[in-house]
A and B are shown apart, each in its own frame.
Chain A
């Protein structure tokens, strides 16, 4: 787990990144390595984006900070909580553990590509009716993870509990999350 010091630096990094400075800052700390910039051409929710990114950027940071798609959340930033879950070619991944440069050709779906306020995705509708959230921070990741899980094949309640173990809810809505997914899965 990140220490409190690392977390503080990390938050500071995010502020800098809003001003486009963070790459210069991190590069200057390691003067041995010449600054590299990667040309990224990535498809997200059907739209192609072209950006110059740092070689160290994660897919999560590109989605949120470079493209402004802030529906994807940063929780632990270590692959443990699932708040950053996105789909790549329909498969769920932790975008905080994905080096963006490696996912250049990926076809990514984020929560912005799922449903609209007027036409919710059935899982979004079920989450609301089953009271499957409180603060809502983990919900985009929960929804995307559940979409991919239901696409992986037939499920039992136990399969849902096991299959959703990569998505934590600190508000403790897990029982209702399982119920919402079970309903959409026809259980």
Chain B
């Protein structure tokens, strides 16, 4: 148990929460399913916990081509929402591949996107980790690294982003709505997650006090008929991805008109496979096209000593996800 105490503040208004959130030592609490384990393990020690779970930020609305999901919508409520199920099944697949029923009933959309890495060197306060303790080094790079990144790593950090939902949202080109005391701004999902630098590895590009208040997707329902989330993990359920792939296709007159592929478990952020996507355009959804997309997915991979097995795993996961998505009607 952590030895550090904190004060609890239940935010009555968003403006109140945002003003308090700018202060040093402040942390937002929504579901708490990541914050509390981090606090219990002494990996974080906020002085003031600002509870935003009672703010009216949990609504899910579909209006025309746009879907908006509020930041504090619970994962299980998003996955069970009739319009999300009907038009954005990839979002439901990603959520239902995550965590357990108990956790999904409490964990929120915004908290899921901002959950901290599961890298075991980060999660153990006794080990070197630049993300947790800048300048202390990266224990993973020359240590136990079967879980580490293939893409986007730096000498300072090779930790993956653990969210399944983020991978699904990356494939659907979701935008992140961020609020602060200064107003609102919108980011592409990829802009939320900076790549690690030479000596530091920030989790997100959010500034102090900024809060994700919603995500938005435009016209993403066009992929509803040909989308899947494939998650490969060490046990069948309640486990983080070793490798995962979100695949979304739009097939018109027997040819692939649009393709979106994002991979999880291989990078510090959901890793879009743009070369694979481009190779699929105009092709029939055939084994040959899928195999080519799979081969292109692994270009540029930079394995460490223990994680080279992820390279063929990623290639094959891309092929299998495309077979599933392409075979739907």
> Residues of A with Cβ closer than 8 Å to B?
2-3, 6, 9-10, 13, 26-27, 29-30, 32-36, 38, 54-56, 58, 77-80, 82, 85, 88, 91-94, 96-99, 101-102, 145, 148-149, 152, 161-163, 165-167
Are B103 and A166 in contact (CB-based, < 8 A)? yes
Complex: A17 Cα to B161 Cα, angstroms: 37
**How many whole Å from B118's CB to the nearest CB in chain A?**
12
Are A101 and B51 in contact (CB-based, < 8 A)? yes
> 6 pairs across A/B with beta carbons < 8 Å?
A3-B124, A30-B5, A33-B6, A102-B8, A102-B29, A102-B51
Check if B286 is an interface residue, CB within 8 A of chain A.
no
Q: Which residues of chain B are near A163, meaning CB under 8 Å?
A: 101
Q: Which residues of chain B are near A79, meaning CB under 8 Å?
A: 33, 36-37, 102-103
Are A2 and B41 in contact (CB-based, < 8 A)? yes
Are B1 and A13 in contact (CB-based, < 8 A)? yes
Q: Which residues of chain B are near A165, meaning CB under 8 Å?
A: 100-101, 236-238
Are A36 and B3 in contact (CB-based, < 8 A)? no
Are A82 and B7 in contact (CB-based, < 8 A)? no
Complex: A96 Cα to B7 Cα, angstroms: 18
Are B106 and A94 in contact (CB-based, < 8 A)? yes
Complex: A29 Cα to B41 Cα, angstroms: 16
Pick from A26, A58, A91, A149: contact of B36, CB under 8 Å: A58
**How many whole Å from B11's CB to the nearest CB in chain A?**
11
Complex: A41 Cα to B10 Cα, angstroms: 15
Are B103 and A97 in contact (CB-based, < 8 A)? yes
Are A55 and B6 in contact (CB-based, < 8 A)? yes
Encode B233-245 as 1/0 by CB contact (under 8 A) with A. Answer: 0001110000000
Complex: A78 Cα to B237 Cα, angstroms: 17
Across chains A and B, which 5 residue pairs bring their CB atoms closest together, nearest first? A166-B100, A165-B237, A55-B8, A165-B238, A94-B102
Sort chain B's interface into a size bin: 35 or more
Please report which residues of chain B, range 48-81, place their CB below 8 angstroms from some CB of chain A when the two chains form the complex: 49, 51, 53-54, 76
Complex: A34 Cα to B7 Cα, angstroms: 8
Check if B126 is an interface residue, CB within 8 A of chain A.
yes
**How many whole Å from B323's CB to the nearest CB in chain A?**
21
Check if B307 is an interface residue, CB within 8 A of chain A.
no
Complex: A97 Cα to B4 Cα, angstroms: 17
Complex: A3 Cα to B69 Cα, angstroms: 37
Given the known interface contacts A163-B101, A166-B238, the answer about A99 and B36 at a Cβ–Cβ threshold of 8 Å is yes
**How many whole Å from B94's CB to the nearest CB in chain A?**
15
**How many whole Å from A72's CB to the nearest CB in chain B?**
13
Given the known interface contacts A82-B102, A165-B100, the answer about A97 and B8 at a Cβ–Cβ threshold of 8 Å is no
**How many whole Å from B186's CB to the nearest CB in chain A?**
28
Complex: A145 Cα to B1 Cα, angstroms: 25
Q: Which of B33, B54, B105 has the most A CB atoms < 10 Å from its CB?
A: B105
Please report which residues of chain B, range 1-40, place their CB below 8 angstroms from some CB of chain A when the two chains form the complex: 1-8, 10, 29, 31-33, 36-37, 39-40
Pick from A35, A56, A166: contact of B101, CB under 8 Å: A166
Are A82 and B47 in contact (CB-based, < 8 A)? no
Complex: A1 Cα to B171 Cα, angstroms: 32
Q: Which residues of chain B are near A145, meaning CB under 8 Å?
A: 101-102
Known contacts A80-B238, A165-B236, then 11 further A-B pairs from the complex at CB < 8 Å, ordered by chain A residue: A26-B3, A29-B3, A55-B5, A78-B37, A79-B33, A79-B37, A97-B37, A99-B51, A102-B10, A152-B101, A161-B236
Complex: A98 Cα to B100 Cα, angstroms: 15
Q: Which residues of chain B are near A85, meaning CB under 8 Å?
A: 102
Q: Which residues of chain A are near B39, meaning CB under 8 Å?
A: 56
Are A97 and B36 in contact (CB-based, < 8 A)? yes
Are A2 and B105 in contact (CB-based, < 8 A)? no
